[in-house]
């Protein structure tokens, strides 16, 4: 890479320059605009739109390029602070779009690439800029821009959301650990100030919060910060001490036997979900987030159904500490599943099988699916005692059913 401090040479040979000085930066952008023939695609962070408005030479360059038929597309993050500049920018380009979290700054034409080296210093013109007309570099950043463009929303929609105070709906999947950690930290802070949170997760997830936020940052050091939070999960001997800590802090906790395959947290406005197990309190490695009403409503419904059938944490803890096995009653609606389950129970018998039939017809149906053959094998091969209880009826009829 060459580092001469002058405007880029736009001759035919390929080159990449790092240019120094504010004047060289502005001159490079002006020459970039003037040499573009077909299109200019611009990606800038939220601090840059105001400069495109207040720097008269740059503003004129936009207008002049567009008057020559150059297609101008611009992506930035539209915020409350830059909304007025973005409104004017809408009139200067063919299309302006909004995308959350834009960090890099670059411009590409059909043959050139330009990147001011400045991050988030509001109102400051970059003192360095990268120029390149190397085809591979131009093509690579064109590809990046097109991906960002496809994910961005219209400026008009975003401006309307800000001015009317309406919610910006989006669903995104975070895969980078630092993004996941930041998002979880933001949600922990939100517990202090926002509405109720309902969480369905293993207690490894609760340990993750305790180890990474309670112990390090003191986020949960006051019980008023979690007393509007509900948590439901499977409480066992290993999680009792942790559950007691959060019960003391005011969290509402219930126990369920069968956990859903996804851990999730939901409020009235947003939801977060992960399939990571967070074993031993490890941070989640991926996170699905959404504030779209259809997802929020769906996960709130799931949580309320689980919560309704859950067992209070204190009762579950007492049961475990007293060494009492908790009985479970399950209603099986599916006939095929009920037959399958009954056969499994019979096969698991060690000494005796007791079977009650509600009617002769119920007994007849079970005989037809092979229940008597199974009883016979259990008795002859494993020495299992089988006893059947039926309503009082004609003995000849029962014998006939068995022999059918």
Q: pLDDT tens across 70-118, in order? A: 999 999 999 988 999 999 999 999 999 999 888 889 999 999 999 998 7
Same domain, 292 and 371: no
Q: Does some domain include residue 8?
A: no
Residues 131 and 32 in one domain: yes
My answer on whether 88 and 177 are in the same domain is: no
Residues 36 and 115 in one domain: yes
Residue where a domain terminates, one of 321, 353, 372: 321
328 confidence band (pLDDT: 50, 70, 90): low
Per-residue model confidence as pLDDT tens digits over 128-162? 999 999 999 999 999 999 999 998 989 998 999 88
User: Residue 359 is part of which domain span?
Assistant: 335-403
Question: Which residue among 321, 343, 366 closes a domain?
Answer: 321
Over the chain, what is the mean pLDDT?
Answer: 83
Residue 317 inside a domain? The answer is: yes
Q: Residue 173 forms beta bridges with which residues?
A: 288
The pLDDT of residue 214 is: 61
**Residue 196 counted as domain residue:** yes
Give the pLDDT confidence score for residue 143 in this predicted structure. 94
Residue 2 belongs to a domain: no
Distance CA 401, CA 362 (A): 11
User: 26 with 146, same domain?
Assistant: yes
Specify the CATH number for the domain of residue 82: 3.30.870.10
Q: Do 183 and 138 share a structural domain?
A: no
| Strand pairing class (271-274; 263-266) | antiparallel
Residue listed under structure tokens 């340990």: 207
Q: Quote the pLDDT of residue 223.
A: 43
Residue 111 maps to a domain: yes
Which has the closest alpha carbon to 283: 170, 174, 172, 171? 174
Task: Assess contact for 177 and 283: CB atoms under 8 A.
Answer: yes
- Residues 313, 271 within the same domain: yes
Number of structural domains found in the chain: 3
Q: Is there a single domain that holds both residue 211 and residue 301?
A: yes
Q: Where a domain ends, among 291, 321, 351?
A: 321
pTM listed for this prediction: 0.50
Q: Are 116 and 64 in contact (CB under 8 A)?
A: no
Q: What digits encode the pLDDT tens for the residues 382-393? A: 888 888 887 766
Q: Is 147 exposed, middle or buried, given 0-12, 13-18 or 19+ CB atoms closer than 10 A?
A: exposed
């Amino acid at each position: 890479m060459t580092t001469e401090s002058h405007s880029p040479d736009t001759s035919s040979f390929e080159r990449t320059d790092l240019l120094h000085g504010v004047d060289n930066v502005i001159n490079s952008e002006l020459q970039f605009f003037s040499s573009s023939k077909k299109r200019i695609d611009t990606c800038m962070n939220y601090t840059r739109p105001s400069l495109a408005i207040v720097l008269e030479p740059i503003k004129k360059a936009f207008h002049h390029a567009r008057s020559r038929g150059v297609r101008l597309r611009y992506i930035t993050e539209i915020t409350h602070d830059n909304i007025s500049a973005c409104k004017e920018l809408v009139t200067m380009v063919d299309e302006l779009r909004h995308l959350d979290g834009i960090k890099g700054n670059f411009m590409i034409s059909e043959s050139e690439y330009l990147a001011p080296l400045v991050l988030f210093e509001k109102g400051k013109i970059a003192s360095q800029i990268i120029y390149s007309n190397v085809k591979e570099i131009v093509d690579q950043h064109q590809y990046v821009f097109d991906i960002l463009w496809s994910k961005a929303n219209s400026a008009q929609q975003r401006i309307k959301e800000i001015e009317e105070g309406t919610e910006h709906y989006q669903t995104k999947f975070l895969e980078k650990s630092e993004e996941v950690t930041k998002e979880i930290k933001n949600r922990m802070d939100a517990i202090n100030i926002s509405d109720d949170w309902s969480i369905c997760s293993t207690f490894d997830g609760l340990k993750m919060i305790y180890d990474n936020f309670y112990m390090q940052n003191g986020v949960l050091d006051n019980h008023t910060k979690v007393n509007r939070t509900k948590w439901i999960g499977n409480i066992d001997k290993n999680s009792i001490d942790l559950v007691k800590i959060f019960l003391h802090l005011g969290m509402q906790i219930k126990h369920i036997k069968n956990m859903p395959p996804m851990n999730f947290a939901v409020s009235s406005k947003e939801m977060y979900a992960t399939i990571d197990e967070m074993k031993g309190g490890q941070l989640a490695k991926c996170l699905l987030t959404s504030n779209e009403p259809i997802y929020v409503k769906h996960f709130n419904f799931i949580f309320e159904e689980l919560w309704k059938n859950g067992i209070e944490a204190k009762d579950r803890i007492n049961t475990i500490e007293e060494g009492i096995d908790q009985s479970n009653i399950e209603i099986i609606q599916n006939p095929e599943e009920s037959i399958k389950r009954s056969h499994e129970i019979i096969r698991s018998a060690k000494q005796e099988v007791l079977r009650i039939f509600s009617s002769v017809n119920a007994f007849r149906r079970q005989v037809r699916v092979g229940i008597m053959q199974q009883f016979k094998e259990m008795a002859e091969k494993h020495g299992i005692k089988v006893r059947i209880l039926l309503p009082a009826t004609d003995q000849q009829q029962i014998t006939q059913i068995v022999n059918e």
